[in-house]
Chain A
């Protein structure tokens, strides 16, 4: 069975600085998707970025980028130029790419605090 581990329960970053959130996963599959979701205090989960395992190029969305290391089964999220609005819980998630599969497996989350 697949597992997702986020070993940092909480992180802090100074406004305008860069922070990296860690995520590792375990799977025997070769084709899958990885995601980072943001959950602000409003509770609504928002997709931040998605990575397809067969793509070697790391995904980037504006100030958010990932470092995807397939062999190491590592998928970290880098937030550049941190803003107060980035403060939230961040969840890493895995989903198999196989047909007929649809379950997402989530990590336990990292709470990010942004200091003014």
Chain B
């Protein structure tokens, strides 16, 4: 079956522009995570969605970052007024539920480059 799909694969934009990153989780997966992976770093948690519960936005680095998940499926991560430090790979992962026994399935990520 289809895995987690992220688009675009690569995005280059000018500083100050807004960008929107998309994540299509595996069908039926209720949990969805966004991570940021900067060069030479591990994965930094950004936001978590679980079913219809309010998302955990505690990892979002600033109010320029926001995310939504429509209909419990597709999620979009929006970065407004992009800065050069936003350059990173943004990874999305989904799982059947919130339990740790449910493995995360990752997408290929979006590489964001801010000029």
Interfacial residues, chain A to chain B (CB-CB below 8 A)? 4, 6, 33, 42-47, 50, 91, 93, 95, 97, 102-109
Contacts and interface: CB of A to CB of B under 8 A. Distances in A.
A50 B102 CA distance: 11
B40 A108 contact: yes
B67 interface: no
A103 to B, nearest CB: 5
Contact of B42 (A50, A103, A106): A106
Contacts of B3: 44
Interface residues of B, number: 25
B26 interface: no
B5 to A, nearest CB: 11
B43 interface: yes
B21 interface: no
A90 to B, nearest CB: 11
B42 A108 contact: yes
B42 A107 contact: yes
A106 B106 CA distance: 14
Contact of B89 (A43, A46, A105): A43
A44 B43 contact: no
Contact of B48 (A93, A103, A107): A103
B91 interface: yes
B25 interface: no
23 contacts: A4-B42, A6-B42, A43-B89, A43-B109, A44-B107, A45-B43, A45-B106, A47-B103, A47-B104, A91-B43, A93-B43, A95-B100, A102-B31, A102-B56, A102-B100, A103-B45, A103-B48, A104-B45, A104-B104, A106-B43, A108-B40, A108-B41, A108-B42
